[in-house]
Amino acid sequence: MANFNLNPVFTGVRQSIGEITFYQYKGKTLTRTKSGKPFRYTEKRTEQIKAFSETVNIWKKLPLPVQSTWETFAEKKDSRGFNLFMKSNIQRVRAFEAVVLTPESNIPSVSSFSLKLNEDGKVQADFALPQEAQSLLLTLVFRETGPQPIENRAFRIKELKTNSQSPAVIEELISGKTYEIHAVLSSDEFSKSKVFSESVSAVITA
């Protein structure tokens, strides 16, 4: 058994990654192997623990409407939004892939989404919306990735108008920094929404 300092935002949660189980005991997050054998910090287990910690920190940084959409999704599965977000993203974080920002829903997703760096140094998002989504609002949600502590990587949003036309230019990015950018649709403005379309994502260096 190993004591793992996580600064958790949850209680009573059990999660497993590979052969490691994370669990709560007297307010602390602990780890143990599924086999019950003595815990040893191998390179693989250290990677698993780091991925767990980083995914928790990403959850903590999610905009509240995004956390709400995970909770709405989890109600149908008799689970919790945090648990399903972790299950969907731990391995993606470990593989340095963009996270699944929002889960599947009855709102249609963006049909296609890509990014490119223009000659003026600004990032351009090219996208296509399905016919049934023409009346929905498109929001781009993005965060910087890279070597800085993950708890410092806040999510930012760029709301576009209803029936937005491609392309959209994202001017808020810093040159030389890498970003993961997610496109989501909703029937209401971002701050008031509790359900979004499943996110479509891409990564680019500005």
142-161: per-residue pLDDT in tens? 999 876 655 567 899 999 97
Q: What are the structure tokens assigned to 158, written together?
A: 């760029």
Contacts of residue 127, Cβ cutoff 8 Å, sequence gap at least 6: 110, 111, 112, 113, 114, 138, 166, 167, 168, 183
pTM over 0.85: no
pLDDT at residue number 4: 45
pLDDT band at residue 10 under the 50/70/90 scheme: very low
As a whole number of angstroms, the distance between CA 173 and CA 42 comes to 38
pLDDT at residue number 7: 43
pLDDT at residue number 18: 56
DSSP per residue, 93-141: HHTTPPP--S---SSPPPSEEEEEE-TTS-EEEEEE--GGGTTSEEEEE
Instruction: Provide mean pLDDT across the span 83-105.
Output: 94
As a whole number of angstroms, the distance between CA 62 and CA 85 comes to 11
Where do we find the tokens 């409407």? 65
Residue pLDDT, tens place only, 116-146: 999 999 999 999 999 888 889 999 999 998 7
CATH superfamily for 112-205 is Immunoglobulins (2.60.40.10)
pLDDT at residue number 3: 47
Q: Which residue has the higher pLDDT, 101 or 153?
A: 101
Q: What is the mean pLDDT of the chain?
A: 83
The angle, 0 to 180 degrees and rounded to 10, between the axes of the packed helices 81-94 and 64-75 is 110
